[in-house]
Amino acid sequence: MIVKSLSETLSGMWSLLVGMKVTAVNFKSPQITVHYPRQVTNLDGYRGHIELVPSDEDPTKSKCIACSNCVRICPGACISLKASKPKKKAAEEKKAAPGTETETQPEGKKEAPPKKAKPELQSFVLDYNYCCLCGLCVESCPSGALRYSSDVYVAGFTRQEFVYDLLSRLQYQAQKKEQ
Ligand code: SF4
Ligand code: SF4
């Protein structure tokens, strides 16, 4: 009886020592937990709703060339966009104006065709209610103008709250960065 009770006591003390060793080892290790929701990390590979990628020259403008590939390929018909017609190139206007100098080409060299002006994006709306995050729009975009956002706080009370004006969002984010 005494032997059994001594054995149980020793076993309990051993278990306590093992537990204390684990605590001591981890006490000095760096903290790996984060203060969610104030801090959000480890979003590598997270696929949030799509967003527009800012252009390199002007962060308030998008890389979108309004080709409508994404609109056509989207299985949920979630994307709608508006774009203005391309403005006439300044060079073309200059050429058309009477009495202005024109650039001469060396003999035998053909004049390069004028570059097509890209249409300017006026609005780009995503109805996230119908998006299945298939990624077809991102893959089909020829100018790399779409990517997945890291927006993890997606909650609302009405469907309208999930209809995103992505161009305004891009402009707001650019202004926020400037401040
Ligand atoms: S991820 Fe798929 S469903 Fe969502 S907007 Fe893009 S193409 Fe449409
Ligand atoms: S596919 Fe890309 S470039 Fe074309 S309209 Fe969509 S976002 Fe713009």
* pLDDT tens track for 37-58: 788 887 888 899 999 999 999 9
Does the pLDDT of residue 117 top 80, yes or no? no
Structural domain includes residue 123: yes
The CATH number of whichever domain residue 72 belongs to comes to 3.30.70.3270
Ligand 1 centre and the CA of 134: distance in Å?
A: 5
Q: Is the pTM of this model over 0.75?
A: no
Sign of CA dihedral 51, 56, 58, 64: negative
Number of domains in the chain: 1
- Answer whether 80 contacts ligand 2 (Cβ < 6 A): no
Residue 133 domain-assigned?
yes
Burial annotation 31-55 (CB, 10 A radius, 16+ → b, else e)? eeeeeeeeeeeeeeeeebbbbbbbe
pLDDT tier, 111 (very low <50, low <70, confident <90, very high otherwise)? low
Residue 79 lies in a domain: yes
53 lines ligand 2 (CB under 6 A): no
Count Cβ neighbours within 10 Å for each residue of 79-91 and write b for 16 or more, e otherwise: bebebeeeeeeee
Q: Is the CB of 69 under 6 A from ligand 2?
A: yes
Which residue range(s) make up the domain with 169? 49-84+118-178
Residue 34, domain member (yes or no): no
Residue 168 lies in a domain: yes
Q: Is residue 174 part of a domain?
A: yes
Q: Which residues line ligand 1 (CB under 6 A)?
A: 50, 74-76, 78-79, 131-137
